[in-house]
Amino acid sequence: MAVKVEINGCTVLCNAVSHADVDIVHVNDSFIETRHAEYMYKYDTVHGTFDGTVESASDGKGLVINGKFIKFTQEYWRYGRAAAANIIPSSTGAAKAVSKVIHDPQGKFMGLSMRVPTANVSVVDLICRIEKGAYDEIKATIKAASEGPLKGILGPSEDDMVSRDLTGNTHSSVFEGKAGIFLNTDVLDLIVHVVKVDAGKWNAQVVCH
């Protein structure tokens, strides 16, 4: 008996539908419409031209692949907007993931993400409440960590940088010392550049080695 599967993202549909024991019943892709999905399914750069029939349903609510209707939705409308011209608020699992790895701050902070038109390097604007400490002391602590347990992973910098300057940087994150400020006596705003690893995994390989 075939397993019924829902897919988030059209790019993995071609591989999944080729298995007889997989029954694709629903596809969600917030970036493209059904006509675009039809084209992508027919002509795949890696796997070649699809050996079968595929067309978008007349009502625009699905794909018909080899005669079988598959429901198609775009759940997050904002994700379908022009990425090169917009900053798009989004959710992120990063804050939750940190609390699973480092248990001390669990339940004490949350996060959101902004999708921005950069090819590489994102930024974390970290606002935290601290018990005590001057900014110079905090920078010194971060510098000490970068030379000790976080050597090669965290890199402090006092330069005036933009995201493009960090392309090729081997650190996972770079703390920008000049950009941090105290919002009041116990609330601190820190800026940390994150060298993306989700596209090519190059940075992750450097850190692991």
Domain of 41: which CATH number? 3.40.50.720
First to last CA, the chain: 44
Query: How far is the C-alpha of 53 from the C-alpha of 41, rounded, in Å?
Result: 10
For residue 170 the two structure tokens come to 């081997």
Task: Name the pTM for this structure.
Answer: 0.53
- Tell whether 163 is covered by a domain: yes
Both 131 and 190 in a single domain? yes
Least confident of 17-21, 72-76, 167-171: 17-21
- Tell whether 98 is covered by a domain: no
Report how many helices (DSSP H) and strands (DSSP E) the chain contains, helices first: 5, 14
- Tell whether 203 is covered by a domain: yes
- Least Cα distance to 112 among 100, 129, 127, 95 occurs for 95
- Residue that terminates a domain, selected from 78, 110, 139: 78
Both 122 and 187 in a single domain? yes
Query: Computed from CA positions of residues 44, 45, 51, 55, in that sequence, does the dihedral angle turn out positive or negative?
Result: positive
The predicted structure's pLDDT at residue 199 = 43
To the nearest whole number, what is the mean pLDDT of the chain?
77
Please write the tens of the pLDDT for every residue from 139-195.
Answer: 898 899 999 999 988 888 898 888 888 887 888 888 888 888 888 877 878 777 776
User: What dihedral angle (degrees, nearest 10) is formed by the CA atoms of 34, 39, 41, 42?
Assistant: 140
pLDDT at 197 over 50: no
Average pLDDT value for residue range 105-129:
74
Please write the tens of the pLDDT for every residue from 85-114.
Answer: 888 777 766 666 666 766 676 666 667 777
Domain span including residue 11: 3-78
pLDDT at 75 over 50: yes
Bigger pLDDT: 2 vs 106: 2
For residue 149 the two structure tokens come to 């347990």
Bigger pLDDT: 20 vs 39: 39
pLDDT at 73 over 60: yes
pLDDT at 51 over 90: no
Structural domains counted in the chain: 2
Both 193 and 135 in a single domain? yes
